[in-house]
Amino acid sequence: MEDIIIRKRHEPRRRTLTVAEIIRLTPAMLRIELQGDMEGFASLAPDDHIKLFFETGGEKPEMRDYTPRAFDVAAGTLTLDFAVHEAGPATDWAIRATVGNTLTVGGPRGSAVIAPAFDWWLLIGDETALPAIGRRIEETGAGTTIVMVGAIPSDEDRQHFETAADLTSHWVVRPEAEAADPAPVLEALKSLDLPEGRGFVWIAAEAGVARALRAHIRDERGHPPELVKAAGYWVRGKADSSDKSLD
């Protein structure tokens, strides 16, 4: 059987990096570039995650998973995008961050590399998934079609991605309070015609939303289950919770 997803292990290590630049990417997204010792850092898949460590006065630091939006080992830089939503230690840190602050990060422990054997990609996600979606789009070369469906809280939160791929973007604008309701994204998804050829579907959102979108793709569209990867990047009503593998 064809290996569609190849898992690679990395030697994890913690490193403390310094804030070098802060950009308000959109009203709901902050981009922070960190700088420091990046020797040995490896991230082979756009949806990899690293651990961020925040000192909040407890016995142990609180940890959160974030996508390496971009990195340059030689230049010693790591870029992270923070969705500005309901306050937690990561959001609170990002909002208060200033140039010169430090942040400890760890990982990634591994990468789930999807074989580059597809004519098209369908990428679906909410604000928390946009860093992984943006990286996937930007790293995809010419000759591949990408259809992106992104759920955002306002028109001003649309992002522009530079890519050699043939990209079509569909933005679903809905209030942040409705981020755990699959209906707006499902409605947009049902109106789309999928491209011809062999395609891979990647989904990440609130866990219940991701399940509903996966069910539509698999059951109603009849897309092969092995060509769908869905993850719950957060769980409604549960702080610091995720369901990265919904299978």
In this structure, is residue 239 part of a structural domain?
no
β-pairing, 199-206 vs 120-125, is parallel
In this structure, is residue 217 part of a structural domain?
yes
Q: Are residues 223 and 187 in the same domain?
A: yes
Q: Are residues 138 and 224 in the same domain?
A: yes
Q: Are residues 183 and 99 in the same domain?
A: no
CB atoms within 10 A of CB 39: 10
Burial status of residue 59 (CB atoms within 10 A of its CB: 0-12, 13-18, 19 or more):
exposed
Q: What is the CA radius of gyration of the chain?
A: 18
Residue 31's CATH number: 2.40.30.10
* pLDDT value, residue 245: 59
Task: Tell me the C-alpha to C-alpha distance, in Å, between residue 195 and each of 64, 87, 192, 205, 212.
Answer: 36, 39, 9, 23, 21
Tokens 């369908």 label which residue? Answer: 122
Q: Are residues 98 and 195 in the same domain?
A: no
Q: What is the span of the domain harbouring residue 157?
A: 116-234
Q: Are residues 124 and 205 in the same domain?
A: yes
Chain-centroid distance of CA 115 in Å reads: 18
Q: Are residues 230 and 141 in the same domain?
A: yes
Q: Are residues 104 and 214 in the same domain?
A: no
In what helix (H) or strand (E) does residue 74 lie, and over which residues does it extend?
Answer: none
* pLDDT value, residue 142: 96
Number of domains in the chain: 2
C-alpha to C-alpha distance for 120 and 144, rounded to whole angstroms:
6
Half-sphere exposure in the Cβ direction for 67 (13 Å, CA): 22
Q: Which residue, 76, 110, 144, sits at the end of a domain?
A: 110
Q: Are residues 105 and 31 in the same domain?
A: yes
Q: What is the pTM of this model?
A: 0.94
**Contact 68/47 with Cβ under 8 angstroms?**
no
In this structure, is residue 41 part of a structural domain?
yes
Q: Are residues 68 and 164 in the same domain?
A: no
Q: Are residues 60 and 138 in the same domain?
A: no
Q: Which residue, 110, 128, 150, sits at the end of a domain?
A: 110
In this structure, is residue 241 part of a structural domain?
no
Chain-centroid distance of CA 98 in Å reads: 24
* pLDDT value, residue 1: 39
Which residue stretches of the chain are H helix? Answer: 89-96, 130-139, 183-190, 207-215
C-alpha to C-alpha distance for 174 and 211, rounded to whole angstroms:
19
* pLDDT value, residue 85: 78
In this structure, is residue 243 part of a structural domain?
no
pLDDT digits (tens), the chain, 247 positions: 368 999 999 998 999 999 999 999 999 999 999 999 999 999 999 999 999 999 988 899 999 999 999 999 999 999 999 999 776 899 999 999 999 999 999 999 999 999 989 999 999 999 999 999 999 999 999 999 999 999 999 999 999 999 999 999 999 999 999 999 999 999 999 999 999 999 999 999 999 999 999 999 999 999 999 999 999 999 975 655 555 556 5
